[in-house]
């Protein structure tokens, strides 16, 4: 029987609650598909600060690098908000992503038919939306040096090298080949030199993928188009800061933030996590929606472990749970037949795996 080593980081706030439900579903699907998963838990964020005094302990880095993939909840909370920046949970997360070399953040935004009314956009605008946002994650202005704030003048540096653009571009084109074969590269090439290099490099990569249609869009227009007509997009590829903003816009097209998974992949390992944060306002109440994390676990099976059948089974079980009217509190207003807790939603999806 195939066995995979999975590192688990539950984190803070609702992190432990939602990751537990994803593990429940992973156990059900691995049993039914004939492979086994061995979990090892590591600390990060506030949970790590409380125990070790550091937001990112060394054992977490080495442990995750040795595993086949990492499932992560979320970090952060008021308790640690007043710490110096280098001690903050969020700094731990940025350093973690950098240490893991996960340069590509994949965020699918798909509409569940049962939840078309949960979006703030009209049903006819969003029905059938299926977008994959591919965001560069460890370069660009968030990491560029020099950076400074002397109290009078402050600056950051947006920098990309050609190899950095090539590796994220190739990821986007490879994904497009398995989808609708359209890549929209988003930049600000009318103003920024770094965006011109981005655009030129995307054009060069496109020559290796003649079946894929490449288009370019300025980021301000892309923000508008995502809300005006999201169905026009298949794969969107963009840099770190633009992707940060656009992927959140794409997420609200879909409805609840509690539905959206993500994968952060690189050459060494991959991290799978919901796009939302640790939601301290609802932590411990049993009302968090675990679907984003369960769907992140499905992405892990698909992209890191090659267990596509198992991933498909999770997708179907989630759809069936929604179709049958089960909703966590965040979605209670949208055709709920029964409002269930975080743990009950995990049970229902796990039970539907083989139905």
Give the residue numbers annotated as catalytic, written as ranges. Answer: 142, 188, 220, 244, 248
- Shortest Cβ distance from residue 298 to ligand NAD (Å)? 16
CA dist 52 and 73 (Å) reads 19
Q: Lay out the site mask for ligand NAD across 13-42 (x = CB under 6 A, - = otherwise).
A: -x---x------------------------
Applying CB under 6 A, does 276 fall inside the site for ligand NAD?
Answer: yes
Question: From the CB of residue 17, how many other CB atoms can be counted at a distance below 10 Å?
Answer: 24
Residues 279-308 that bind ligand NAD (CB under 6 A): 279-282, 288-289, 292
CA dist 206 and 191 (Å) reads 23
The stretches of the chain forming alpha helices (DSSP H) are 15-33, 46-52, 58-66, 89-100, 123-126, 162-177, 193-206, 219-228, 240-254, 291-303, 308-323, 342-352
CA dist 232 and 226 (Å) reads 8
- Shortest Cβ distance from residue 317 to ligand NAD (Å)? 18
Residues 238-267 that bind ligand NAD (CB under 6 A): 257-258
Chain-centre distance of CA 39, in angstroms?
20
Question: From the CB of residue 322, how many other CB atoms can be counted at a distance below 10 Å?
Answer: 23
Interface with ligand NAD (CB under 6 A), residue total 22
- Shortest Cβ distance from residue 267 to ligand NAD (Å)? 22
- Shortest Cβ distance from residue 87 to ligand NAD (Å)? 14
Please pick, from the candidates 90, 213, 244, 347, the single residue that binds ligand NAD as defined by CB under 6 A. Answer: 90
CA dist 156 and 148 (Å) reads 7
- Shortest Cβ distance from residue 180 to ligand NAD (Å)? 28
Applying CB under 6 A, does 124 fall inside the site for ligand NAD?
Answer: no
Q: Give the nearer residue to ligand NAD in terms of CB position, either 11 or 169.
A: 11
**What's the CA dihedral at 82, 83, 86, 88 to 10 degrees?**
-70
Question: SS3 helix, strand, coil % of the chain, rounded to 5?
Answer: 50, 20, 30
Applying CB under 6 A, does 330 fall inside the site for ligand NAD?
Answer: yes
User: Which residues touch 248 (CB under 8 Å, ≥6 apart)?
Assistant: 275
Applying CB under 6 A, does 106 fall inside the site for ligand NAD?
Answer: no
CA dist 27 and 14 (Å) reads 20
Applying CB under 6 A, does 76 fall inside the site for ligand NAD?
Answer: yes
Q: Give the nearer residue to ligand NAD in terms of CB position, either 280 or 325.
A: 280
Q: Give the nearer residue to ligand NAD in terms of CB position, either 18 or 129.
A: 18
Please pick, from the candidates 16, 77, 169, 255, the single residue that binds ligand NAD as defined by CB under 6 A. Answer: 77
Q: Give the nearer residue to ligand NAD in terms of CB position, either 177 or 241.
A: 241
Applying CB under 6 A, does 55 fall inside the site for ligand NAD?
Answer: no
Q: Which helix (H) or strand (E) holds 187?
A: strand 182-187
Contacts with ligand NAD by CB under 6 A lie at 14, 18, 74-77, 90, 93, 257-258, 273, 276-282, 288-289, 292, 330
């Amino acid at each position: 029987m195939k066995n995979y080593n999975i590192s688990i980081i539950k984190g803070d706030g609702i992190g432990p609650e939602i990751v537990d439900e994803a593990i429940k579903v992973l156990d059900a699907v691995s049993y039914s598909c004939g492979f086994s998963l061995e979990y090892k838990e590591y600390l990060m964020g506030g949970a790590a600060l409380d125990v070790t005094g550091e937001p990112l302990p060394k054992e977490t880095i080495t442990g995750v690098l040795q595993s086949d993939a990492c499932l992560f909840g979320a970090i952060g909370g008021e308790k640690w908000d007043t710490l110096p920046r280098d001690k903050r949970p969020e700094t731990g997360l940025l350093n973690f992503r950098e240490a893991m070399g996960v340069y590509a953040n994949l965020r699918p935004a798909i509409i569940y038919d049962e939840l078309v009314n949960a979006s703030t956009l009209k049903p006819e605008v969003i029905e059938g939306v299926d977008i994959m946002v591919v965001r560069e994650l460890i370069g660009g202005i968030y990491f560029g040096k020099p950076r400074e704030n002397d109290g009078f003048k402050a600056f950051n540096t947006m920098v990309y090298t050609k190899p950095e653009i090539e590796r994220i571009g190739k990821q986007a084109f490879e994904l497009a080949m398995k989808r609708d074969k359209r890549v929209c590269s988003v930049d600000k090439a009318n103003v920024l030199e770094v965006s011109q290099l981005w655009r030129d490099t995307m054009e060069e990569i496109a020559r290796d993928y003649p079946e894929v249609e490449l288009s370019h869009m300025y980021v301000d227009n892309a923000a508008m188009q995502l809300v005006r007509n999201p169905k026009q997009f298949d794969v969107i590829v963009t840099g770190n800061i633009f992707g940060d903003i656009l992927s959140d816009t794409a997420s609200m097209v879909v409805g609840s933030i509690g539905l959206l998974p993500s994968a952060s992949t690189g050459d060494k390992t991959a991290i799978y996590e919901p796009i939302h944060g640790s939601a301290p306002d609802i932590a411990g109440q049993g009302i968090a929606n675990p679907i984003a994390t369960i769907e992140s676990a499905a992405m892990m099976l698909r992209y890191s472990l090659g267990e596509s059948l198992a991933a498909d089974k999770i997708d179907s079980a989630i759809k069936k749970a929604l179709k049958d009217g089960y909703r966590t509190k965040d979605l209670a207003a949208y055709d709920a037949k029964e409002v269930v807790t975080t743990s009950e939603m995990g049970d229902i999806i796990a039970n539907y795996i083989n139905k």
